[in-house]
Amino acid sequence: MLIGGVARDKWEDKKLKPRIEAIKEKEGTVVAEKKRALILLGTFMVAAGLLTGEAFFGTESAILSFIDSLWPASFGTSFAWHAIRLTLFILINVVTGYLIYLLFKRAGVFGGTEQDAELVEAR
């Protein structure tokens, strides 16, 4: 965490500040601060996505390791083990992806109608 914070501070000083200063000169302070906020938000979103992906990978690995412990030790060297493991890996990813899709659809991120969008803008 500490190394990441130091690296982020250096990136902000060397890369972000000059870019924002150039935008301030061309388009003004308000636009520059909005773009700065969006750039920083993007970096946080990437970091959150990476942490979420790492957590998902760990969970998926734990599930597959548990499934592997159910088979006899000699089964791990057979061709059937590889086929079953690949099938379970794909199945876990498809089911999880579908559940995430349903969650986002229920929240209104996916599948909203144009009328829903107009109602949100009218509020």
Same domain for 37 and 57 = yes
- The whole-model pTM stands at 0.49
State pLDDT tens for residues 51-78: 888 888 888 888 888 888 888 888 878 8
Q: Encode burial over 33-68: b for 16+ CB neighbours within 10 A, e otherwise.
A: eebbeeeeeeeeeeeeeeeeeeeeeeeeeeeeeeee
- DSSP string for 34-75: HHHHHHHHHHHHHHHHHHHHHHHHHHHHHHHHHHHHHS-GGG
State pLDDT tens for residues 11-53: 888 888 898 899 999 998 888 888 888 888 887 777 777 788 8
Same domain for 53 and 2 = yes
Same domain for 86 and 62 = no
State pLDDT tens for residues 85-103: 899 889 988 998 899 889 8
**8 or 121: which carries more pLDDT confidence?**
8
Where in the sequence is the domain holding 20, given as residue range(s)? 1-70
